[in-house]
Structure 1
């Protein structure tokens, strides 16, 4: 029987949700494939059709989770005028704070990426995707929000995109590690640093 790509994707997402729940509860290292299989309510055979093992599941979770967090950036590139950089950081930070994925899990994935090449490749891929999207956003913002010419915007956008990714990752880290961290506490400082119109 032939199954649709939508069905296959739904199963992968079901497995990923089970893994996220287990990783969040037990930690990545203490979560076994047996834990994920049980939580997914699928057979081991079904799990291994979609993923070779836990490393591949972690890499998939890393790609899909971080990609979702940057959805606002992709939308902002086409908005006219685009939101100010500090507003965009606030949007992304708010999305992280209300996401189904605990920010602590994102930090666990980064930790895993230090020594796990498969997860590292996924983390680097996500970083490059975020950087490319933010670079496009920065060009759009500098053209419409700052009135700069296209050559100048293209020249300055990479450095500004790097800064924005760094700020977003720093927000994720602080949200994960600091009890009672106020995500809005940096808004004024971000506006001074990023909004140069």
Structure 2
């Protein structure tokens, strides 16, 4: 009997996750059955259950991978020297992630999947834990990024680094939601909009 290679196992797992992601993005988690997933990926129940005991396990794997892709892209960009300013950083990374066809999905479809995953974390403790872990790591990385802005002498604000990091994360989340709801949200729009807001002059209130 021929030995099954790790490459084959990885490819089969990828096939299942990508097919399930297409189903979930199209019909939502609760309206998608395991039979729908099996039909989409073209595999038997035994072949799929060898990798994932049930639908919730597939959802958890997609959640972990999807959040990891987004988090990793921002962490990699934040390590650049000198660090890109928030307008360039957010536009560059979000544009790259959405155009990267994660799970083979079009940008708007992928964004819609991300929003669905976020909503699932409100009812599923396992998914909530995955999101919390990823958010904590990203929040820490972006706090370091803000500190790097200060060290480079390009940030004069005395606002807490963590507060600014959370604001940038919120901007990224909002961009993804807009793409999911309306589509065709170009990264250049985000970059130009943030650059304009960053140029605003603050006035002291007497």
Q: How much does 1:35 deviate?
A: 1.4
Q: Does the CA contact (< 8 Å) of 2:20 and 2:58 recur in 1?
A: yes
2:141 to 114, 133, 150: 133
Alpha-carbon separation, structure 2, partners of 1:66 and 1:89: 16
Instruction: Name the structure 2 match of 1:111.
Output: 119
Structure 2 stretches lacking a partner, 5+ long: 201-206
Structure 1-normalised TM-score?
0.81
SS at match of 2:122: helix
Relative to the length of structure 2, the TM-score reads 0.78
CA distance in 1, matches of 2:57, 2:38: 14
In 2, Cα distance between the equivalents of 1:181 and 1:79?
25
Structure 1 residue runs of 5 or longer lacking an equivalent are none
Aligned match of 1:123 in 131, 136, 143?
131
For residues 171 and 8 of structure 1, do their structure 2 counterparts lie closer, same or farther at Cα, with a shift above 3 Å needed? same
User: 5 Å matches for 1:156-175?
Assistant: 156-175=160-179
What are the Cα deviations for residues 107-156 of structure 1, in whole angstroms up to 9, with x where unaligned?
Answer: 111122211222222222222232233223222233225278xxx99x93
Root-mean-square deviation (CA, aligned residues, Å) is: 2.9
Aligned length: 192
Which one has a larger percent helix, Structure 1 or Structure 2?
Answer: 1
CA distance in 2, matches of 1:73, 1:194: 20
Compared with structure 1, are the counterparts of its residues 110 and 41 closer, same or farther at alpha carbon in structure 2 (3 Å cutoff)?
A: same
Structure showing greater Rg: 2
